């Protein structure tokens, strides 16, 4: 029956890093002699090699993941530039449509100011431009004198 206050029961398990595995070797040397040390050393070497292989595989996976992230970031940057260009084209189109509407409204206003052919006579309130054939002022109906 083990001693109820055996200090070995309270020892923490050895850590996972390879440097902490030397404690296992020291315990094995105390308990088993040369044969036990050889078996423990072989198990320790296998575990260290397995850990090294796992770290190598993990590094390779992380390298692949980083490459994938860089590829996706490049695609995202190209898409973002494409969206920016599309938005710029939309704004330019809206501006051109707005300018067209302003121009059409100005033409409609000028057309509305011109006299219509009616039975009444109209006169120009300001100077008449003979070169262009247009009134520089407003058109008003002429009143007949009696």
pLDDT tens digits, residue range 51-77?
Answer: 888 988 888 888 888 888 888 888 888
**C-alpha dihedral over 87, 91, 93, 94, to 10 degrees?**
130
Question: What would the pLDDT profile of 100-128 be if each residue is shown by its tens digit?
Answer: 999 999 999 988 887 765 566 778 888 88
Q: Are residues 96 and 128 in the same domain?
A: no
Q: Per the domain annotation, does 6 fall within a domain?
A: no
User: Are residues 60 and 83 located together in one domain of the fold?
Assistant: yes
Q: Are residues 92 and 131 in the same domain?
A: no
- For residue 131, the model assigns a pLDDT of 87
Number of domains forming the structure of the chain: 2
Cβ–Cβ < 8 Å for 120, 141: yes
In this structure, are 84 and 31 located in the same domain? yes
Claim to verify: residue 122 and residue 96 sit in the same structural domain? no
Does residue 4 fall inside a structural domain? no
Q: How far is Cα 113 from Cα 111, in angstroms, rounded to an integer?
A: 5
- pTM attached to this predicted model: 0.33
Per residue in 1-45, pLDDT tens?
Answer: 455 555 555 555 545 555 555 666 666 666 655 666 677 777 888
Say yes or no: 51 and 36 in one domain.
yes
Token pair recorded at residue 110:
């000028």
Specify if 71 maps to a domain.
yes
CB atoms closer than 10 angstroms to residue 93:
10
- Same-domain pairing of 123 and 108: no
pLDDT of 128 reads 81
Same-domain status, 97 and 119:
no
- For residues 119 and 107, membership in a common domain is answered with no
Is residue 5 assigned to a domain? Answer: no
* Predicted local confidence at residue 93, as pLDDT: 94
Full domain range(s) for residue 23: 17-114
Structure confidence at residue 117 (pLDDT): 59
Say yes or no: 40 and 81 in one domain.
yes
**30/53 same-domain check:** yes
């Amino acid at each position: 029956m083990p001693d109820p206050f055996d200090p070995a029961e309270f020892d923490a398990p050895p850590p996972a890093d390879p440097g902490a595995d030397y404690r296992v070797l020291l315990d094995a040397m105390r308990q088993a002699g040369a044969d036990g040390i050889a078996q423990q050393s072989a198990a320790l070497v296998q575990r260290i090699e397995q850990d090294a292989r796992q770290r190598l595989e993990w590094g390779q996976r992380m390298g692949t993941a980083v490459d994938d992230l860089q590829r996706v970031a490049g695609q995202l940057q190209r898409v973002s530039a494409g969206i920016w260009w599309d938005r710029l084209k939309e704004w330019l189109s809206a501006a051109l449509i707005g300018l067209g509407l302003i121009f059409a409204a100005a033409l409609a206003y000028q057309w509305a100011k011109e006299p219509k052919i009616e039975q009444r006579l109209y006169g120009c309130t300001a100077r008449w431009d003979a070169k262009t054939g247009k009134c520089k002022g407003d058109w008003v109906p002429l009143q007949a004198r009696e």
